[in-house]
Chain A
Amino acid sequence: MGKVNVRICSGGRCFMQGGSDLLDYEEFLDDGIARECEFETCNCLGECKKDALSRMEPPIVSVNGKLFGEMSPQKLYRAINDELAARS
């Protein structure tokens, strides 16, 4: 079974608008869940710089390719759990 791929944007806006807390994932995720994921940080995905209608608000995280805006530790935990549930 493949791991859940979590890409946390560490572009300027994401990092400074709360994304820095997400990079600290070891603090708020269970070891068991964190082990099932592979974490990456990435440069700006460009989603926050689109025009007003299609723009996503930072911080942005991609979980198995699905993009989430305004990510919080709680939302990240839920998104990973959903992926784990869909996998089994």
Chain B
Amino acid sequence: MLEQNNQYNILNRRIDTEVIRAFFNGTLTEDIDKIPYRIFPKDSARVNKCCIFKERAMVRYRIMELLGINIERYDFEFLPIKSHLEFVLHEDVDDFPVLTTVQLACYGCPPEQYRITDGCRGCAARPCTTNCPKDAIVFINNRGYIIEDKCIKCGKCFSVCPYHAVIHLPVPCEQACPVGAVRKNEHGHAEVDHDKCISCGKCIHSCPFGAIAERSSLFTILKMLKRGEKTVAMIAPAIEGQFPGTLSQIKAALLKVGFTQVFEVAKGAEMTSVNEASELDEKKNEGLGFMTTSCCPAYTQLVEKHLKFLKPIISTALSPMGYAARACKEMFPDHKTVFIGPCLAKRVEGINDPNVDCVMNFNDLSSIFMALDVEVGEMERADLGDSSSFRDCRGFCFSGGVAECVLNRVENRERMRIMKVNGLDKKSIAIMRTWEKKPPEADLVEVMCCEGGCIQGPSSITKPSLAMKFRGKD
């Protein structure tokens, strides 16, 4: 996994900021095709790729991702970006799939392999040969070679070589995908199998070339804000600490950029925990076995697509976003609801939920703040209202936080056994598969797709250690 603030993400936020600023200034239609040249002018010293022309081409694709274009299908190279924009300004695009791949960006990494480098000294002990389960290592001129056809990529030689002469060349996107949904097509480029994909977003943040990206639905929201429509921003508990200010300052900043109401999804999380707690009590009393949480949308998609036997085991409670959106539609019936969170899978949940009109991530929001020069840290604090009943639910964004909130609301917390699945990967999914035959020794299983919880979600901006310093300051 790459770190959040890598060069590529920082460049993307710069591009997004330029686009959004031009949009609000009303100059986007004439400016949009100039943006690649503004980001990379002819004397630019920042060229990382082979040449400045490819950098500009990548800026073009980035803008298309931001416009929400399905690049696999509509990559018409002869069209200016402007004609894509005109379509997006005219119509709201928000459909599946939420991921898109940029073939031009994909390096086409060779298949995963282990290779013995010239660091090999042809030693006498030869632990690589001894440990190889498939006899795939041969020695020619006193140096080891791996026979590709025999190698099963177990990595034993890699870990035993005393000279670290064996290197591992992974395919980052394939390695990061917990469900094997990223594969190479016949041209060697990455392709996402949308029938298998659980929208966890791990591939986006593993590819050092940025070949897989989210199709943003930001423009739908930008249009609403510009038209001055009534919108309610539903903010995920993870938002606190992602921006340089307190929660009440973030609320004030959201009101400043044009949202008319701000609603804490932690309040929806309270409903989720109340319902999960009563369900858990019932299951425990009747001896119906274990229950898992339902708040992580990547996990619910995992169950839907890969672990169908868990379907009756997931809590029937809605996710915090589900309850929050329902409450917002009741409280503000003439408002559009916009969920703001760190999560890609919430996009899918949002499209399927009629109460949620749009979903935006923290990267998008940070670009809006930058484009409109909103200084979160200098805002006057807005009133958050009475939050006493759901204060603990702001911890829903941590691994363990959901279970804690449910436990706070059950009849007798002492008798409940808790298990945490902290991060979905190939290994943890393999363990979950065994539950079909042998249920886990727990009453409540809390599942978080992202390690550490939503606070490390795919579009988070700050590291959790820093986010903690900004949290709870109101």
Interface residues of A (CB under 8 A from B): 10-13, 15-18, 20-21, 23-24, 27, 43-44, 49
Contact = CB atoms under 8 A, between A and B. Distances in A.
B14 A12 contact: no
B473 to A, nearest CB: 13
A81 B427 CA distance: 43
Given A21-B463, A43-B377, A43-B378, A13 B5 contact: no
Nearest to B241: A20
B246 to A, nearest CB: 13
Q: Chain B at the A interface: mostly helix, strand, loop or mixed?
A: helix
B376 interface: yes
Interface of B: 3, 5, 10, 13-14, 243-244, 366, 369-370, 373-378, 461-463, 465-466, 469
Contacts of B3: 21
A17 B244 contact: no
Given A15-B244, A16-B243, A20-B244, 16 more contacts: A10-B377, A11-B375, A12-B370, A12-B373, A12-B374, A12-B377, A15-B377, A16-B369, A16-B370, A17-B14, A21-B462, A21-B463, A21-B466, A23-B466, A24-B465, A27-B465
Contacts of A27: 465
A44 B373 CA distance: 10
B465 A15 contact: no
A16 B10 CA distance: 8
Nearest to A70: B10
A20 B461 CA distance: 8
Nearest to B14: A17
Nearest to A27: B465
Nearest to A9: B244
A39 to B, nearest CB: 12
B5 A20 contact: yes
B10 A18 contact: yes
Greatest chain B CB density within 10 A among A13, A15, A21, A49 is at: A15
Contacts of A11: 244, 375, 377
Given A11-B377, A43-B377, A16 B13 contact: yes
Contacts of A13: 370
Nearest to A11: B375
A7 B80 CA distance: 44
Contacts of B374: 12
Nearest to B375: A12
A70 to B, nearest CB: 9
A13 B244 CA distance: 10
Nearest to A13: B370
A30 B104 CA distance: 42
A86 B374 CA distance: 38
